[in-house]
Every structure is written in structure tokens, then in C-alpha cells.
Amino acid sequence: FKYNPQFHNVMEVSKEDFESCNSSSPILTYTTGHDSVELTSGGHHYFICGTPGHCKAAGQKVDIFVLGGNSGGPSGDGSPSISPPNDDSDNDSPSISPPNDNSASLMTRPNFISFKWLYIIANIFLVHGVL
């Protein structure tokens, strides 16, 4: 996640807190402005901006669904992660870009990996009402 930490943060929250944009009891909070999150387990992972009004009014939240995955342990086996794009300090809005370090290994994996990423990206757009 890349964002201006003066105005935003990223909180991993439960499904209930995601749906109601409740930031009072996050699972994890990220505040650096350049946060990478390893998604090592399958299923839904819910993230919101905890700044008042940003989740509800501005729609700054994302539901990322990961197919399969490990029950733990380090990533690097093709598990998706979110990495910051190139630095652009003029942009105050959070942004998400695909990982850079696993790009080559994803090219050699079976086609289901491509569908996994397509599904994740589609969910991101659905949450923001783009599709």
C-alpha cells in the first residue's frame, strides 16, 4: 500500500468491521505510507483506511480474496502480496500495485495463478464500485 501517512493509514479488520467501516479494533495497523502485506492464508483479507470518514464517505477499503494459500510460513511461493509502486509524493490517495519481487516466478506458474490475480483485482474493483 502506498499512501500519504499524514492523511491515511491502512488497517486490517474483520469482515464485520470492514462492512461497517469500524476502525476501533483493527487486527493490524500500518502507518508508514509504504506498506507491504504478505497474504499467507487463503480467504478474505479486509483492509480499510482508519482516518475518520475515509472508509465510509470516500470508499477507501478493499476486500482481497486469496485462493488456497498456506496455513502459515513465509511467502515466496507465489502467494500474493501488495507492494508499493514507484514513489509519487504528490499523490495523497492510497494506491495498490501488484508485487514486483515475484513477477518472474508468476510467469512460469500454471494459468490458475493468472486467474487468482484476476479474481483479486476484480474484487478490489467491485469493492470500489468500478465494475
49-100 pLDDT per residue, tens: 999 999 999 999 999 999 985 544 444 444 444 444 444 444 555 555 555 5
128: phi then psi, degrees, rounded to nearest 5: -90, 5
CA-angle at 126, arms to 10 and 15, nearest 5°: 50
Predicted TM-score (pTM) of this structure = 0.56
Q: To the nearest whole percent, how much of the chain has pLDDT over 90? A: 50
pLDDT above 50 for 128: yes
Residues 6+ apart with CB under 8 A from 82: 1, 35, 36, 37, 39, 64, 96, 97, 98, 99
Collapse the DSSP code of 98 into the 3-class scheme (helix H, G, I; strand E, B; otherwise coil) and give the result: coil
Do 10 and 36 meet the contact criterion of CB atoms below 8 Å apart?
Answer: no
- The Cα 49–Cα 26 span in angstroms is 11
All domains in the chain, ordered by first residue: 10-72+79-127 (2.60.40)
Element (H, E) at 81: strand 81-82
